[in-house]
Structure 1
Amino acid sequence: MADTVNLLQNGYAGEVLEDLLTYTAQGNDTFKEGLIHVKSGIQHKYTLPAVKLGDIIQDNIPTPLSTHGAKGPDGENEYTFTERYLEPQEFMIYLEFNPRDYEKYWKFAQPDGNLVFRELDPKIQATMLRLLIEKKNEYIGNAIWTGAKGGTVSAGITEPADCTKIGSRKEKYFDGVIKRIIDNVSATDAETLAGGQVIVSGTTELADGEAVEQALYSMWKKCPKQIRKKNNLCYVIGWDSWDLYDQYASNKVYKYSENTETNRYKFKGKRIVPIVGIPEHTIVLADFSTGMDSNLWMGVDYANDTEVVKIDRLQSNSELFFFLARMKMDVNIVRPAEIVIHTAYKKTV
């Protein structure tokens, strides 16, 4: 907030301002683009079950033999159940501030009378709270993709030089998508491999637009045929990689669009969704939506706990106010075998 206030001190007098200017927060592109299904009311653990039926086609005979129902090594004549889990982990938002520090920016917030009886004006609350929520959404948008329970050391993932670390800073409360995928790719235990294994199409760094296009092609070729026609199948990509691809496509002899225009956000008829949050040199192709058939789920504790913020005076004899929100959250992929990834991130040896 100090930086925001300094922005105003070089401009017009505070009494003419209707509202504080706030730096633009990145928000949460994963929510905005409809890439994740949110399951609320999970206090402890929620099971994501999946079932698959093996081959059941046989030669026709008048009376089937009991041996015809025998289970085979590839799951013949058998329902196979797998379970993945959402286990929301706790963290909180907490901020203290003195509303008197901002009185000069709101003329209407300068009431007459004893300071002891002044309250935080609702309009001030709304502005301060909006910025708080935007900052919370920025954190969640990053943690969905680059979070790792326990932090960077526990993540055990090596990133390309000068790239985002998995589980760095405060992204340490739950495992994000990249951690889940890399664990699945290198796993041998049944729980991590539940729902199959993620398909890795490439591990090189995406140095230019041509490399991005080749990665998109390779991912499409390795995409399971049974999900290619799903309406919500899309590529999720970082803005740096998209910009490289956009420039490369614009420079082609046969252009998708004029140089002054952005190319279509599509490849092979499927959406390309550039977002803030996904790490560098990484593209994910999967069925992402807000519906229950999405391959990416988020679990939270209460129906509205992503927006519940308590606002109150710190104590009866204090001018300070506080914002407080206690949250529980987790994310998980649902059907790993239906996810294709190109990433330069890898499990630390």
Structure 2
Amino acid sequence: MADTVNFLQNGYSGEVLEDLLTYTVQGNDTVREGLIHIKTGIQHRYTLPAIKLGNIIQDNMPTPQPIHGAKGSDGTNEYQLTERHLEPSDFMVYLEFNPRDYEKYWRFAQPEGNLVFRELDPKIQATMLRLLMDKKNEYIGNAIWTSARGGETAAKITAPEGCTKIGANKEKYFDGVIKRILDNVNSTDAEVVAGGQCIVSGTTELTDGAAVEAALYAMWKKCPKQIRKKTSLSFVVGWDAWDAYDQYISDKQVKYSENTEVNRYRFKGKRVIPIVGIPEHTMVLGEFSTGMDSNLWMGVDYANDTDILKIDRLQANSELFFFQMRMKMDVNIVRPAEIVVHTAYKKSE
């Protein structure tokens, strides 16, 4: 790709180029794979209530003994409500550029008439917008997992050597999944642990395929029995972990598939979903879907804020243009007690 682009830059001869070649951006695998429920219309705060019923079984008797609302230690006679919240935070996509920088790539966009009246050609807009939207999706796809409100310093999470930092690279506007999980398992605050605590099945680095397989078994054994048959129950892993596991099971004496093929994305009958965005040495097992039963929710303000983009001249006397998007976003786990995680990331306090 780089050679092709350089050729276009150095060898342009004035002919029409139909499109400007763009580098591939990773996009947002979490949304593309249908792993998250998106709740719209949240301007400030949205409550995620969860309810479960305690013990309702008693000895049989002709007339039940009145208990007048008394509650037992095991939850007898009680609907137990827990609340978690989505509080979307503001952030913005913004880019300034000069369309004249691209005139030499499009004959139809070259000067015709007075420079002062020249507008941004729609063909140029389409190409630049496509790349900008892809880049926005890449940011969101990463932030869902590795963001931390306040940034890396505020996150206080230690990453394995050479791995993605939690809260780095402007991923500072809301707490992502890993921050939510680690806060939950290391806190006694009632709101943070509402809905129970996530189940940590392991904390070692996944150095090879054997380690990945062992971690998958450990996660499955720790998985709450009541959700094992849920159709949306899935393992979410990074590509490094999947590649190591894929090679490991292909190298076994009794092969699952030929070496020329990718092994099935399954473990114990459940989907294994490799995505870009989840950090290294980390795998998560839970119910993930686009429906309300998903254990992972995203809160946004207006339904299509992440797709509404403003294009205009920077100012009346300028030939610069700008692209701008304004968004509000947050993510949270709904039922932490039904999340199993293997991660080498640790709280540093």
TM range (shorter): over 0.9
Gap change, CA 1:84 and 1:71, over 3 Å in 2: same
CA distance in structure 1 between the partners assigned to 2:339 and 2:7 by the alignment? 44
Per-residue CA deviation, residues 13-34 of structure 1 (Å, 9 max, x unaligned), is 4633200000100000001100
Contact kept? 2:89, 2:174, Cα under 8 Å: yes
Counterpart mapping for 1:1-349 below 5 A? 8-10=8-10, 13=13, 15-67=15-67, 70-349=70-349
**1:56 Cα deviation (Å)?**
0.4
Amino acid at match of 1:126: A
**1:67 Cα deviation (Å)?**
3.1
Contact kept? 2:12, 2:105, Cα under 8 Å: no
- Across the aligned residues of Structure 1 and Structure 2, the Cα RMSD in angstroms comes to 1.6
CA distance in structure 2 between the partners assigned to 1:19 and 1:3 by the alignment? 16
Equivalent pairs: percent with the same residue? 79
SS at match of 1:272: strand
Per-residue CA deviation, residues 1-52 of structure 1 (Å, 9 max, x unaligned), is x999757314554633200000100000001100001111110000100111
**1:72 Cα deviation (Å)?**
1.0
Contact kept? 2:297, 2:332, Cα under 8 Å: yes
SS at match of 2:329: strand
CA distance in structure 2 between the partners assigned to 1:8 and 1:194 by the alignment? 57
Per-residue CA deviation, residues 72-127 of structure 1 (Å, 9 max, x unaligned), is 11211101110000000011011111101101111111252111111111111111
**1:64 Cα deviation (Å)?**
0.9
SS at match of 2:15: helix
In the alignment, structure 1 segments of 5+ residues that lack a partner are: none
Gap change, CA 1:7 and 1:236, over 3 Å in 2: farther
In the alignment, structure 2 segments of 5+ residues that lack a partner are: none
Higher mean C-alpha displacement, 66-75 vs 222-231: 66-75
Contact kept? 1:88, 1:301, Cα under 8 Å: yes
Gap change, CA 1:309 and 1:3, over 3 Å in 2: farther
Amino acid at match of 2:342: H
Gap change, CA 1:164 and 1:308, over 3 Å in 2: same
CA distance in structure 2 between the partners assigned to 1:5 and 1:173 by the alignment? 35
Q: Once superposed, which parts of structure 1, at least 4 consecutive aligned residues long, lie more than 2 Å away?
A: 2-8, 10-16, 67-70
Amino acid at match of 2:94: Y
CA distance in structure 2 between the partners assigned to 1:157 and 1:336 by the alignment? 19
Gap change, CA 1:222 and 1:18, over 3 Å in 2: same
Contact kept? 1:250, 1:258, Cα under 8 Å: yes
Per-residue CA deviation, residues 299-318 of structure 1 (Å, 9 max, x unaligned), is 11101100111000111111
**1:68 Cα deviation (Å)?**
8.1
SS at match of 1:67: coil
Amino acid at match of 1:103: E
CA distance in structure 2 between the partners assigned to 1:83 and 1:52 by the alignment? 12
Amino acid at match of 1:191: E
Gap change, CA 1:14 and 1:308, over 3 Å in 2: farther
TM-score normalised according to structure 1 size: 0.97
CA distance in structure 1 between the partners assigned to 2:261 and 2:151 by the alignment? 40
CA distance in structure 2 between the partners assigned to 1:310 and 1:15 by the alignment? 31
Per-residue CA deviation, residues 173-211 of structure 1 (Å, 9 max, x unaligned), is 100000000000011011011111101100111010000
CA distance in structure 1 between the partners assigned to 2:112 and 2:272 by the alignment? 56
TM-score normalised according to structure 2 size: 0.97
CA distance in structure 2 between the partners assigned to 1:146 and 1:10 by the alignment? 40
SS at match of 2:30: helix
SS at match of 1:169: coil
Contact kept? 1:26, 1:134, Cα under 8 Å: yes
Gap change, CA 1:101 and 1:72, over 3 Å in 2: same
